[in-house]
Amino acid sequence: MSLKHLHRKLRNTDLPSEEFDPISAFESFESPVISNIIPPDRYTEPKEDYSDIITKVEAKKPQLASALKKLNLYQQQAVFSEDQKLLLSAMVGSGKTTVLTHKVLYLHFIKGIPLSQMAVLTFTNKAAREIKERILSFYENSTPPNSDELRYFGTFHSVARQLIKEHPKLQELGFTPDFSIMDQEAKEDFLQRLIVSHELDVKYRNKLDKRLKLYRNEKQIIYGNMKNPDDLVQLLNISRKEKQANNLMDFDDLISVINWQLKLKKTFIPEWIVVDEFQDCNQEQIELIQNLSDDRSHFFAVGDPNQSIYAWRGSTNVIFQNYIEDQSFVIMRLPLNYRTSGQLLNAASCLLQQDNDALQATRDQGKKLIIRNHFDDHQEAYYYVQKFKEVHQHGTPRTEIAVLFRTRQQIAIFESIFQLEGIPCEVVSKTKLREQAALFWLQNILLSGLHPNDMDSILRVFTSTDFGCLKAGKRLLSTFSKFIEGKEFASKLEAFSCFLSEKYKKHAEYIDLCQRLMGLADYLRSRKRDVNLYQYLSLDFFLKPTSINYKDDVADIKNALNELDHYTLKNYFGDWLEIYRAAMSQVSLEGHFQINSGIQTETKGVSLLTIHAAKGLEFDHVYLSGANSGIIPLERKKAGYDHLKEEKRLLFVALTRAKNHMEISWHTKSSAWNAQDGPSYFLNSIPSALLEKVDTAPTKDSELETTPKVELNDDSKWKVGTKVKHPKYGTGEIKSCNEQDVVCDFGKFGEKSFASAWAPLVKI
């Protein structure tokens, strides 16, 4: 496939018109949602039976054959396919991870492809870990593969890091294989420090990452209300030199650097490239796939265009469409959903523009989708308090209950009320290391010792609010810069040690810590397996035994150091310093110290999370809160069709998290700043026969009398000739109505069609 052609199409995608009207675009019951329908004739249908292949597998690997027998025909077809280029359209809940894993096992055990000749690329460490663990479980009593054989199994970033370290052209870019990795927050600190220390004039510093991406992709310097360029380009030049001097890379660098390297020289061309969640790829990741390929490479990608919800990361639904149009690709599908009950799945399917067989239920019909009107979020939260108590009493574990939100800002009030009323709950989100003071400090201590030119980590160690001795700020940077001016030091850490010794003599313990960090490399090399970093670094003093958090901090740090020890012993390759550096790179990539397999996350009760965070999860009972228009879809200025398509896919993802019970709520009086009256107009796509409509808003509340309200309407409410008012089109008259829709004439705006159940109309 010509991925260069794909790049051109991605870059030439039409921009939204300033006159784009979201209500006009999506109010109609038949409004199109996804433009890239897979034509039925592009699917390669499965055979009626694959027993002959399974029999051959059984002779070689009985355990694998037993697992393959449990797959349906669509899944078996994808696993057994020997097509060189295969795109698998895996509908939600269809077992895509199972298929991907069995594909790898089939290629390895039956076709004899070494695991080291496969690149298996994922988007989350959780997915990568799950795939590895499933593979290892099939080795029974035989010797499992070591980490070296699986070194190209992981996220795009972790595989890129591995390839960069192995590439002979790395030093031409000014880096060495022991480079350190900055996460997004560390990158922001790094850039802000450069702006201050070099006295640069950079506008919109709170949106710096967005500005850098615009410059990198479109060479755009002017931003917002700026009339003249600022020092953005100078910042980029300085940061590039600083990264090279300090042997640092950020996440974006990992992909761009390996693409640069592979264009110069392809050092690794896997026999098979396997990609999970293919719909989430961005341009640079597609380019990486291309750079890993040649005419002999096999390509197997699994994805679902209906779950493409990460445009803000650079992914685009156009990718799937271009692969579908490429006739050299075989297109297969997984249409059978094993998760969601029939009626809920039918309701979710109405949000898609697909052929009738695109998503097929395998479970019983179950309950209808419930749409419930609450007066506001307070009333909704207290409704959940009673509801969850009842559900739990009837046998549903609290961990099988989730409340979804479009934005994080909506969560706080529910968390507060649940805690007040004794409902165990947990806000599910990626906890950042910097939100865990002791672990974040430990991370920076180790980075400072392992990478002695990492100035930002050094500063964070000694300016930590909880554990440091200095005050961060421009004054400290200025004093340090003047101190080192005209002097030569072996590293930034040595320079800072001398700085402390001369300027801050009273902090003897911190001067000693600096000396110990300077000796960390020699300590690791000399001690080998007998490593006790807690004792070597004298961490007990800095954790302040008199502190109220002392016991928790000590426990957290010792657990983290145990994780590092476990990782280094498991992956040891001959150099203890290098393996500890590799371990800390993994911590940066994953965002936590639990870098070994089998991470178990214990939920405390009901899950509160955004729809984005819920992707890939499933619950027995799911409640989507505050789904007013303006929230779903989230209103954004100058957002066009692509934004609304993604917002509707986001609603589809929300509905398909539920196994048996799904409720969507909307508020008569929403506290969200951009919420509009009435439920999301996306719900117009769902026929009333699939819905159960409930109104629990308190009609006696005096505020209802003065608050415009778009009510949840019964089908019998609409009659031909009734005068109605619409928030956009004004006064109109009903011309026809039935159980499904109502047609109104709005004079100069013409006739408009709405779903009867959700027509945003008020009788005059």
Residue numbering of the annotated binding site for ATP: 90-97
**Euclidean distance between CA atoms 117 and 149, whole angstroms:** 8
Amino acid at position 144, single letter: P
Contact (CB, 8 A) for 142 and 108: no
Ramachandran assignment for 722, one of left (phi > 0), alpha (psi -120 to 50 degrees), beta (any other): beta
Closest CA to 503 of 475, 487, 483, 488: 483
**Euclidean distance between CA atoms 615 and 124, whole angstroms:** 11
**Euclidean distance between CA atoms 92 and 652, whole angstroms:** 10
Q: What is the DSSP code string of 208-240?
A: HHHHHHHHHHH-----TT-SS--SHHHHHHHHH
743 - beta bridge partners?
736, 753
Checking 565-569 for CB contacts under 8 A at 24+ apart, the result is 565/531, 566/596, 567/595, 567/596, 568/531, 569/529
Annotated binding-site residues read 90-97
405 - beta bridge partners?
610
**Euclidean distance between CA atoms 513 and 467, whole angstroms:** 12
Return the biggest CA–CA distance within the chain: 90
For residue 632, give the 3-state DSSP assignment: coil
Residues 754, 758, 759, 763: is their CA dihedral positive or negative? positive
Q: What is the DSSP code string of 34-54?
A: -S----GGGB-PPPS--HHHH
Q: Cis check for the bond before 633: say yes or no (omega within 30 of 0).
A: yes
Using DSSP, how many helices (H) and how many strands (E) does the chain show?
30, 22
What stretches of 507-612 adopt beta strand conformation (E)?
A: 606-610
**Euclidean distance between CA atoms 547 and 534, whole angstroms:** 18
Closest CA to 442 of 535, 557, 283, 271: 557
**Euclidean distance between CA atoms 734 and 717, whole angstroms:** 11
Burial of 389 (0-12, 13-18, 19+ CB in 10 A): middle
Q: How far is CA 693 from CA 372, 375, 633, 689, in A?
A: 6, 15, 20, 10
H/E run at residue 764: none
Contact (CB, 8 A) for 89 and 304: yes
